[in-house]
Structure 1
């Protein structure tokens, strides 16, 4: 509504200036040289022509005032446009910052939850490694542990991680590498979660599961550190 009013004022000013110029041109064209022309007067410079103040000079002088009449609403309109653009920019920056801060807070909570899940997985894997022994014999991956691994894989596919890494440079390959490692053990965990009493896995498969979980844990620690640093930067607890 306000922008429409400013635009109407600009149009009225332009039409007014154009109308003034048109009236002057009409008078000059129909009535010839107006009576307000002053007679010629000798110039104060001996080599110059006599001065004459007539239609050309009047139009030239009045044209400047007409330009001012047109320019004033134009300047006001442009100034308002600049103020509106600056306000819109400030609002956009504030909204973006609020979104990023909310995302960083959510990332710290998610990292905490996932790292606690990983601690439970690690505890179970350490027991499995103890059973397998140094020879790396086969052992049982329980359905409970397998389900926790599957939940970890699922949560690592959430877009929040990508969104957060888009605003803070965590590293171009860490998340992709962790996802790839977790995807490599998904079939193992899926079959173990569905088997009654778990699934027997080889020592090699156990190492793959252990390695993927450790890689996920390292990246979560990295994400948590970056999220806390981002919140600290903006003095947000």
Structure 2
């Protein structure tokens, strides 16, 4: 609606103004009787009135142009923030499956010994890398989320990764391999996965709130072509 207003208001104003002049030109006598009945200085009064209307139309067009410029400036300022928010939201969507897979393996309270698959080890590495990227820090500066929590989560995930990357004798295959989580380390890895799930939800909700605030302003999303 706002786009239509910005696009067509100047043309409508000019059309109305020219139409009034045309009516007056085609029927000057009838126009005089209708508009100037009982007036001693008709021309002066109508010139003054038309000047006022012309000034109002000009002011309306100027205000409209200023609002358009302001909107463009807001678009430019928010463009980087919108891009980061979209990246973080997509990252959280991708993280959800990895976290669900790991959460299923650590659903029971320990301590116990488990062997992670290569796919689960890969998921854990990707979580460490994903939560460690700069766009997460930049988004948390835009939409304030406790940086202390993110730092502690990163420490917990790195610790869990180190545990799972150690080559330990597999009790089932009788060979050293990665992905063995012994009973003494089980709860450490389990807590890291649970914290990743909590913070992933927190980040996704924050990014969706930020994006919805943008959309509620009725502005075009500068990240979409």
- Please list every run of 5 or more consecutive structure 2 residues that lacks an aligned counterpart in the other structure: 1-68, 169-174
Asked whether the equivalents of residues 164 and 180 of structure 2 are also in contact (C-alpha less than 8 Å), the reply is no
Cα drift, residue 92 of structure 1: 5.7
Pick from 159, 165, 190 the counterpart of residue 184 of structure 1.
Answer: 159
The 3-state SS of whatever aligns with 1:169 is: coil
Contact in 2 for aligned 1:140/1:199 (Cα 8 Å): yes
Q: Find out whether 1:156 has 2:131 as its counterpart.
A: yes
* Mapped pair 1:101 → 2:76: no
Could you say which residue in structure 2 is the equivalent of 1:112? 93
Shift of 1:100: 0.8
2:106 aligned residue: 125
Q: 1:172 corresponds to which residue?
A: 147
Native 8 Å contact 2:81 2:142 kept in 1:
yes
User: Which of structures 1 and 2 has the bigger CA Rg?
Assistant: 1
Alignment match, 1:200 = 180
CA distance in structure 1 between the aligned counterparts of 2:154 and 2:181, rounded to whole angstroms: 21
Aligned length: 146
Map 1:59-70 onto structure 2 (within 5 A): none
Aligned-residue CA RMSD (Å): 3.1
1:1-237 equivalences under 5 Å are 93-126=74-107, 129=108, 136-191=111-166, 198-235=178-215
Question: Which digits, 9 at most, give the CA deviation of each residue in 1:150-171, with x for residues without a partner?
Answer: 1111111110100101111111
| Higher RCO (Cα < 8 Å, 6 or more apart) | 2
Deviation sequence 1:184-231 (CA, Å, 0-9, x none): 1121122359x8654433222111111001111111111111111111
Q: CA deviation at 1:105?
A: 1.4
Cα separation, partners in 2 of 1:172 and 1:200, compared to 1, 3 Å: closer
Change (3 A) 1:160 1:199: closer
Change (3 A) 1:196 1:142: farther
TM-score, structure 2 length as denominator? Answer: 0.56
Q: Tell me the secondary structure at the aligned position of residue 146 of structure 2.
A: coil
- TM-score using structure 1 length: 0.53
Q: Is the 8 A contact 1:153 1:183 kept in 2?
A: yes
Unaligned 5+ segments in structure 1 are 1-86
